[in-house]
Amino acid sequence: MIPVRMLYHLRDFRSSAIRKACVVYWKPIKNIVQQKTNDGHLNFVFRLSSFALITMTTTERHLNIYDLSLPALAALLNDWGQPAFRARQIWRQLYVNLVRSPQEMTDLPMALRERLAAELTFGVLELETMQQADGGMTRKALWRLPNGPVLESVLMIYPGRATACVSTQAGCAMGCVFCATGRMGLLRNITPGEIVEQALWAAREARTSALSPQPLALGNYADDDRWASDDTPSPQPLLPSPTRLSNLVFMGMGEPFANYDRWWQSVERLHDPQGLNMGARSLTVSTVGLVPGIQRLAEEKLPINLAISLHSPDDTLRSEMMPVNKKYPIAALLAAARQYVAKTNRRVSFEYVLLQGKNDSPEQAARLGELLRGMLCHVNLIPWNPVPGAPLHRSHGERIRAFQRVLQDAGVACTVRQERGVAIAAACGQLAGAQVAPTLAEIALV
């Protein structure tokens, strides 16, 4: 029996009304049921009598196991008196076998499984909705984070491979006018574990797709993805779906360099040869053009790919489209890109969303060619994925091809990104935006 008076003095109760209830029910407690909520809080149900119940929820969440590095997990298990090899055993279960709960870790002693379940949270992302397009080969998940924000991840499955696009922030502070996420503002930075969880979801989905391949019409998907350099879509025969997540791009909601430390921890986790083992060259980060982030990335040991959103060859228009340009104008951005290439000897990709009558003229293509001439780079032209309510228009196919020809004639490697998931609003932030900001009518290009 625990006197309620003692509990009243415990801190971290979410509701002061519960504290008051403790005072009102100044009675001994008959039993306590402890439950863990989906977002990692502890929920206590106190029975005071046959009729009276009090529920309390702690505001402190349990540690998300996906936020732990391998050394941190090893240290925790050491504190628990476990042998050193247990950490690697659990790591393998999480990142190789892709299990989602300690109950599935059947190579662990039952007592350890129970302790893991009681003291750690195995993931905090709650699947709100999942949509499919392209015969099931494009899948988009909307997640709800603890405390309410939402974010998105997309998986695109191709013959023999799969690419995931994950978010690095909930919302985004950068305010690009053509982007649904920019409309939301920044809701919060997300943790390394919350980034890694998205990748693990994609890896599980890709693996499952191999077990139940979906029939696809010939040519329903191209041997290209939204981030690949091959621009020639070609009909593909039906092939077995991949069993492994082969590429991952940080191009979902948010600006990765605005959440650099947490994002980079997730990169190291995904790359870990003892875990998901994604090669550095199969990881791509996309930035709106934060120069300090580009400089920092150039110093990193892991040679992941860099993509920079450019979208205009002149500062006036780019500043209208992307407010970040006022802080890091094109000259500063391209100088940082050149330094990055000089330091790493790696090719930079420039992303260019084409908007009819705004940034898609042959003159603008020629100007872009001049800016990029001689740089080890590649331009990825992106037909705009319409955002409902936005008074913008995607460029026509002929205009896109003309833009591409001008760039290629200027000696700049240039491809057109193939589209996926238009039917499920697969562009960044569209699904989440429907939850956070139902109308995008205010979005306008001056």
- The residues carrying an active-site annotation are 152, 428
Find the binder of ligand SF4 among 179, 336, 424, 432 (CB under 6 A): 179
| Among the residue ranges 39-47, 79-87, 168-176, 331-339, the one whose residues contact ligand SF4 (CB under 6 A) | 168-176
> Whole-number minimum distance, CB 346 to ligand SF4, in Å?
22
Burial of 393 (0-12, 13-18, 19+ CB in 10 A): middle
- HSE at residue 443, side-chain half, CA atoms within 13 A, is 25
Cα–Cα distances (Å) from 406 to 308, 363, 389, 399, 411, in that order, read: 20, 9, 31, 11, 9
Considering the complex, state which of residue 182 and residue 293 has its C-beta at the smaller distance from ligand SF4. 182
Q: In the numeric block, which tokens belong to residue 260?
A: 């650099």
Q: Which of residues 264-293 bind ligand SF4 (CB under 6 A)?
A: 288
H or E element that contains 144: strand 138-144
Burial of 183 (0-12, 13-18, 19+ CB in 10 A): buried
Amino acid at the residue 420: R
Residue nearest to ligand SF4 (CB): 182
Considering the complex, state which of residue 194 and residue 255 has its C-beta at the smaller distance from ligand SF4. 255
Indicate the length of the chain as a whole number: 446
Find the binder of ligand SF4 among 7, 90, 94, 174 (CB under 6 A): 174
User: Does 82 sit near ligand SF4 (CB under 6 A)?
Assistant: no
Long-range contacts from 326-332, C-beta under 8 angstroms, 24+ separation: 328/289, 328/290, 328/291, 330/371, 332/291
Q: Which of 294, 272, 309, 289 is nearest to 69 (CA)?
A: 272
> Whole-number minimum distance, CB 292 to ligand SF4, in Å?
15
User: Does 193 sit near ligand SF4 (CB under 6 A)?
Assistant: no
Coil, strand or helix at 271: helix
| Among the residue ranges 26-34, 36-44, 249-257, 432-440, the one whose residues contact ligand SF4 (CB under 6 A) | 249-257
Q: Which of residues 351-410 bind ligand SF4 (CB under 6 A)?
A: none
Find the binder of ligand SF4 among 181, 198, 241, 385 (CB under 6 A): 181
Find the binder of ligand SF4 among 73, 124, 428, 443 (CB under 6 A): 428
For residues 267 and 272, what is the distance between their CA atoms, to the nearest angstrom? Answer: 9
| Among the residue ranges 17-25, 85-93, 248-256, 437-445, the one whose residues contact ligand SF4 (CB under 6 A) | 248-256
Find the binder of ligand SF4 among 123, 146, 149, 254 (CB under 6 A): 254
For residues 287 and 256, what is the distance between their CA atoms, to the nearest angstrom? Answer: 7
Find the binder of ligand SF4 among 56, 120, 172, 436 (CB under 6 A): 172
Interface with ligand SF4 (CB under 6 A):
172, 174-176, 179, 181-182, 253-255, 288, 428
